[in-house]
Amino acid sequence: MAIKWLIDASYFVAAILFILGLKGMSSPVSARKGIVWAGVGMVLATVVTFLTPGMNNFALMVIAIALGGAVAWISGKKVAMTDMPQMVAIYNGMGGGAAAAIAAVEFARGEMHGTVVTLLATLGALIGAVSFSGSVVAWAKLQGVMKKAFRLPAQNAVNIVLALVTVAVGGAIVIAPTIDPLLVGAFFVLALLLGVIITLPIGGADMPVVISLFNAFTGLAVGFEGFVMGIPALIIAGIVVGAAGTLLTQLMAKAMNRPISNILFTPMTGVASGGEAVEGEQKEVGAMDAAALMRYASKVIIVPGYGMAVAGAQHKVWEMTELLEEAGVEVVFAIHPVAGRMPGHMNVLLAEAGVPYDKIFDLEEINGDFAQADVALVIGANDVVNPSARTDKSSPIYGMPILNADMAQNVIVVKRGKGTGYSGIENALFYKDNTRLLYGSAQQAIGEVIQHVKALSV
């Protein structure tokens, strides 16, 4: 009795720590503390599980924890900041896969009692398997293993039919008097295939939303399996993560002005299509002229994008910012909710470079300031500053809220070449009269700007 009380109390404390950790992770200021709280809760929940009466296979549990912990530790130490989105995607997928694996083990044991328990196990297996296979595809896209999006003929019809068949097979498992291994096997194959088929067409600006959506799926799957196993900590942690992931997904979809159904069934595939032809020509600027424009400006707004991440230029950008501020220039950063390849990608990069949090502003906070800015410096961003989203009803991104970089007196765009961005949509900003393009990788281009700013400040 005392052991059961200790276990239940420990799970309760762990659940509180999970909630506190998630709350802390909602702000860059307290994110590190939140991770520590959640980590302590996970350690507590893991350790107390060893005290569960009737628990065995301790050696296998220790080996599994050691292997998983070692892989996570080594990969976490070695991963480049540019590779963080795909690490988030694959780790999230592993959570969904673990939930599906728990369901598979429970099915194999054949000891589940009651339709409700079987239903929850089946739901957890379905959502977890979709999250796992979908996250693997997302990882492959972000890692460059899968070079482009693939859209099947009658893609939406395939999605719907496959989903209905998978649900039907899952329903058969729930109502069957005994667990049929062949039925269970077919169910998992269909669920895994569903995750792949849904994710294959998705690319471009939709990817951060999809990663967030699969995070919500993983949380829900874990919560369902926690109920099946009777572990309150899993139930609470799963529900909290699922709810947070769902809210984040909705916020990001709203930031793109695209319903989640459109993201899944009418995705931006990364192939240039739609939109009016852009007239004019791109006008180049040299590093010296770009430096002079910013050195003698009153206010500069920097818009970072994935190009900054690829080049690892965040430290150079902050070095340039410090030089400009020493010369009396006000410099702030504008972040679009879906900039980069995962939620909060740009915030993480800037925090790593040491940029103070009070210099980083979200879309709603900063958009009104662009008209008063002398220079908007866009570093590797594309869709989030494309004015076609306001004016071109035929554009795939029409209606998406954007950063008003085009309203600044001068716009400097650091760009590797003359091609389109990740989504394949031509950017009208690059052809505007007040826009000049500084070609080259962000690391090299900003490095040259820094040298000229130093020379101008002597």
Residue 272 confidence (pLDDT): 46
Identify the band that residue 271 occupies on the pLDDT scale cut at 50, 70 and 90: very low
Sheet strands side by side (includes 375-379): 360-362, 330-335, 299-304, 375-379, 410-415, 435-439
265 touches 156 (CB < 8 A): yes
Residue 321 CB burial class (10 angstroms; 0-12, 13-18, ≥19): buried
- C-alpha distance across the termini of the chain, in Å: 76
105: number of Cβ within 10 Å: 12
What stretch of H or E contains 364?
helix 363-366
Percentage of the chain beyond pLDDT 70 is 91
Dihedral (CA of 34, 36, 41, 45) sign: positive
Strand-strand pairing, 375-379 and 410-415:
parallel
Sequence-ordered list of residues with C-beta below 8 angstroms from that of 48, at least 6 positions apart, any chain: 6, 7, 10, 11, 14
313 touches 378 (CB < 8 A): no
Which structural domains are found in the chain, ordered by start? 79-265 (no CATH), 287-457 (3.40.50.1220)
Residue 417 CB burial class (10 angstroms; 0-12, 13-18, ≥19): exposed
Which of 103-112, 199-208, 387-396 is the least confident region?
Answer: 199-208
| SS3 at position 335 | strand
Residues in the chain: 458
Residue 320 confidence (pLDDT): 96
**Is the model's pLDDT at 278 over the cut of 80?**
no
Residue 27 confidence (pLDDT): 74
Residue 419 confidence (pLDDT): 59
Residue 270 confidence (pLDDT): 46
Question: Residues 252-281: what's their mean pLDDT?
Answer: 64
Identify the band that residue 267 occupies on the pLDDT scale cut at 50, 70 and 90: low
pLDDT tens readout for residues 15-25: 889 889 888 88
pLDDT tens readout for residues 354-410: 899 889 998 889 999 999 999 999 998 888 898 988 887 777 778 888 899 999 999
Give DSSP secondary structure letters for 423-442: T----GGGGSTTEEEEES-H
- The rounded distance, in Å, linking the Cα atoms of 345 and 446 is 20
Identify the band that residue 422 occupies on the pLDDT scale cut at 50, 70 and 90: low
**Is the model's pLDDT at 48 over the cut of 60?**
yes
Sequence-ordered list of residues with C-beta below 8 angstroms from that of 167, at least 6 positions apart, any chain: 126
Tokens of residue 332, six digits? 């702030």
Residue 421 confidence (pLDDT): 55
Identify the band that residue 291 occupies on the pLDDT scale cut at 50, 70 and 90: very high
This prediction has a pTM of: 0.78
Residue 123 confidence (pLDDT): 93
The 8-class DSSP code of residue 326 comes to H
- Give the C-alpha distances (Å, rounded to integers) separating 329 from 291, 315, 448: 12, 19, 19
> For residues 326 and 457, which has the higher predicted lDDT (pLDDT)?
326
Which of 78-92, 98-112, 432-446 is the least confident region?
Answer: 78-92
324 touches 339 (CB < 8 A): no
Long-range contacts of 330-333 (CB under 8 A, 24+ apart): 330/298, 330/299, 330/300, 331/299, 331/300, 331/301, 331/302, 331/359, 332/299, 332/300, 332/301, 332/302, 332/359, 332/360, 332/361, 332/366, 332/369, 333/301, 333/302, 333/303, 333/304, 333/359, 333/360, 333/361
Q: Residue type for 217, please?
A: F
Highest mean pLDDT among 207-216, 306-315, 323-332: 323-332
Active-site positions read 383
- Give the C-alpha distances (Å, rounded to integers) separating 185 from 102, 103, 171: 14, 12, 14
> For residues 301 and 339, which has the higher predicted lDDT (pLDDT)?
301
pLDDT tens readout for residues 75-92: 888 887 677 788 888 998
Residue 210 confidence (pLDDT): 85
Dihedral (CA of 219, 221, 227, 233) sign: negative
Question: Residues 167-186: what's their mean pLDDT?
Answer: 90
- Give the C-alpha distances (Å, rounded to integers) separating 166 from 20, 143, 162, 194, 265: 37, 29, 6, 8, 18
Identify the band that residue 277 occupies on the pLDDT scale cut at 50, 70 and 90: low
> For residues 179 and 120, which has the higher predicted lDDT (pLDDT)?
120
Distance of CA 73 to the CA centre of its chain: 21
Based on C-alpha coordinates, what's the Rg of the chain? 25
Question: Residues 106-116: what's their mean pLDDT?
Answer: 78
Identify the band that residue 30 occupies on the pLDDT scale cut at 50, 70 and 90: confident
Mean pLDDT of the chain: 86
